[in-house]
A and B are shown apart, each in its own frame.
Chain A
Amino acid sequence: MDTANQKKTIALPRNRLYSIIAIAAFVVFAFIADRFFDAFTLRVFNLCAIYIVLALSLNLLNGFTGLFSLGHAGFMAVGAYVSALLTMSPQLKEMNYFLVPIVPWLHNVTLPFLPALIIAGLVSAFVGFLIGAPVLRLRDDYLAIATLGFGEIIRVLITNAQSITNGAQGLKGLPRFSTTFAVWAVAGLTILFMVLLMRSSYGRAMKAVRDDELAAEAMGINVFRVKVTAFTVSSFWAGVGGALLGHMITTIDPKMFTFALTFNILLIVVLGGIGSISGSVISAVVVTILMEALRFLDEPMNLIVFKTEGMPGLRMVVFSILLMVMIIYRQKGLMGNAEFSWDMLGGLFVKKGRKGGDHV
Chain B
Amino acid sequence: MTLSLLFQHIVNALSLGSLYALIAIGYTMVYGILRLINFAHGDVFMLGAYVAFYMMTLLSLPWWVALLVAIVFTAFFGIGLERVAYRPLRDSPRISIMISAIAASFLLESLAVLIFGGRPKGVPVPDVLSRVIHFGSVSMIVISLIIPLFTFALLAVLLWIVNKTKTGMAMRAVSTDIEAARLMAVDVNKVVSFTFGIGSLLAAFGGIMWSFKYPQLNPLMGVMPGLKCFIAAVIGGIGSISGAVLGGFLLGIIEIMTVAFLPTLSGYRDAFAFILLIVVLLVKPTGLLGKRQAEKV
For the complex formed, measure the closest distance between the CB of B87 and the CB atoms of chain A, giving whole angstroms.
9
Q: A337 in the interface, Cβ–Cβ < 8 Å?
A: no
Q: Is A29 in the interface zone, CB < 8 Å from B?
A: no
Of B85, B271, B275, B285, most buried by chain A (CB within 10 Å of CB) is B271
Instruction: List the one stretch of A96-104, A183-191, A322-330 in contact with chain B.
Output: A322-330
Select from chain B the residue with minimum beta-carbon distance to A315: B110
Residue-by-residue, is A287-325 near B (CB-CB < 8 Å gives 1, otherwise 0)? 000000000000000000000000111101101110110
Q: Which residues of B contact A328 (CB under 8 A)?
A: 85, 88-89, 100
The minimal Cβ–Cβ distance linking B84 to chain A, given in whole angstroms, is 8
Cα-based distance from A156 to B88 in the complex (angstroms): 37
Contact with A along B111-130 (1 / 0, CB 8 A): 10110001000000000000
Q: Which residue of chain B has the shortest Cβ distance to A274 in the bound complex?
A: B95
Partner of A156, one of B100, B104, B267, B281: B267
A324 & B278 in contact (Cβ 8 Å cutoff): no
A residues 135-167 in Cβ contact with B at 8 Å: 135, 137-138, 140-142, 144-146, 148-150, 152-153, 156-157, 159-160
Query: Who on chain A is nearest to B92 by CB?
Result: A331
Contact of B107 among A149, A160, A321 (CB under 8 A): A321
Docked complex: B69-93 residues within 8 A CB-CB of A: 85, 88-89, 92
- Which partner residue on chain B sits nearest A267 by CB separation? B103
Bound complex: CA A128 to CA B102 (Å): 23
Docked Cα-Cα span, A318 to B90, in Å, equals 24
Known: A134-B282, A141-B37, A156-B268. A320 touches B110 (CB 8 A): yes
B37: chain A residues within 8 A (beta carbon): 141, 144-145
Those of B118-148 within 8 Å (CB) of chain A: 118
The answer to the question of A95 belonging to the interface, with a C-beta cut-off of 8 Å to chain B, is no
Once the chains bind, are A146 and B267 in contact (CB under 8 Å)?
no
Find B113's partner among A153, A159, A274, A313 (CB 8 Å cutoff). A313
**Inter-chain contact B267/A266, CB cutoff 8 Å:** no
Range class of the B interface residue count: 35 or more
Q: Are B274 and A137 in contact (CB under 8 A)?
A: no
Which residues of B are found within 8 Å of A312, using beta-carbon distances? 113-114, 118
The number of chain A residues touching the other chain, given as a range, is 35 or more
Q: Are B95 and A142 in contact, with the CB atoms below 8 A?
A: no
Which of B104, B234, B267 gathers most chain A CB within 10 Å? B267
Q: Please pick, from A145, A324, A327, A331, the residue contacting B277 in the complex, using a CB distance under 8 A.
A: A145
B249 is an interface residue with CB less than 8 A from chain A: no
Binary contact track B266-290/A, C-beta < 8 Å → 1, others 0: 0110110111011001100100000
CB distance from A143 to the nearest CB of B (A): 9
Kindly state whether residue B153 has any CB partner on chain A within 8 Å. no
Q: Are A149 and B278 in contact (CB under 8 A)?
A: yes
A68: interface (CB < 8 Å):
yes
A146 touches B281 (CB 8 A): yes
CB-defined interface of B42-70 with A at 8 Å, one 1/0 digit per residue?
00000000000000000000000000000
A141 to B94, CA, bound (A): 8
> A278 interface residue, CB < 8 Å from B?
no
A316 proximity list for chain B (CB < 8 A): 106, 109-110, 113
Chain A residues within 8 Å of B275, by CB: 149, 153
| Chain A residue contacts of B231, Cβ below 8 A | 145, 149
Q: Mark A198-213, 1 if CB is under 8 A from B, else 0.
A: 0000000000000000
Q: Nearest Cβ in chain B — how far from A99, in angstroms?
A: 14
A-B contact pairs, 8 of them (CB 8 A): A66-B95, A135-B282, A141-B98, A145-B230, A156-B270, A160-B268, A274-B95, A324-B100
9 smallest CB-CB distances across A and B, nearest first, come from A149-B274, A320-B107, A316-B110, A323-B103, A324-B103, A313-B113, A156-B271, A320-B106, A313-B114
